[in-house]
Amino acid sequence: MAWFEGLPQCRTLGLRHVASEAGKVTLELPFQEALIGNPETRVVHGGAVTTLIDTASGTSLFTLLPAPEAIATLDLRIDYLRPAKPDAPIFCTAECYRLTEHIAFTRATAFQDDIAKPVAYAVATFARGTGKEA
């Protein structure tokens, strides 16, 4: 389930697969000094969290496909609820809750110690089969 490990930005961020089942996946973003967005608070930059959420969301739909296919993020809406605690990993659990022939719908929660205390919530839609010629 680690197809994303071939993506350069995911390797740079050190994203790790934690768990998966049909329609659901959890990934980890390890804390790294290079990802700090504010040196005074040591909070991880929101762009790194966005990449974690987008990757987990896309990966959740791959758990439902019979074979890999090209996808593209159509829309990604994130509500940042609190800053992540410094010096600790961030996890994201994403679920593909509806899969159609052309579109996939996902929801995700980014968290640290407790999924009930999220760093962010997100919903996303993905286009399927984007590698085909029009």
pLDDT tens digit sequence for 12-58: 899 999 999 999 999 999 999 999 999 999 999 999 999 999 999 99
Give the model confidence (pLDDT) of 83-118 as tens digits: 999 999 999 999 999 999 999 999 999 999 999 999
Q: How confident is the model at residue 132 (pLDDT cuts 50, 70, 90)?
A: low
- Residue 133 in domain: no
- Residue 104 in domain: yes
- Residue 96 in domain: yes
**For residue 53, what is the DSSP state?**
H
Number of domains composing the chain: 1
- In the numeric block, the tokens 């680690």 are attached to 2
Instruction: Give the span between the Cα atoms of 128 and 103, in whole angstroms.
Output: 6
pLDDT for 128 beyond 50: yes
Domain extent, residue 18, equals 3-128
With vertex at residue 54, the alpha carbon angle to CA 20 and CA 80, rounded to the nearest 5 degrees, is 110
* CATH code of the domain containing 69: 3.10.129.10
pLDDT for 131 beyond 80: no
- Residue 134 in domain: no
pLDDT of 129: 85
Mean pLDDT of 62-71: 90
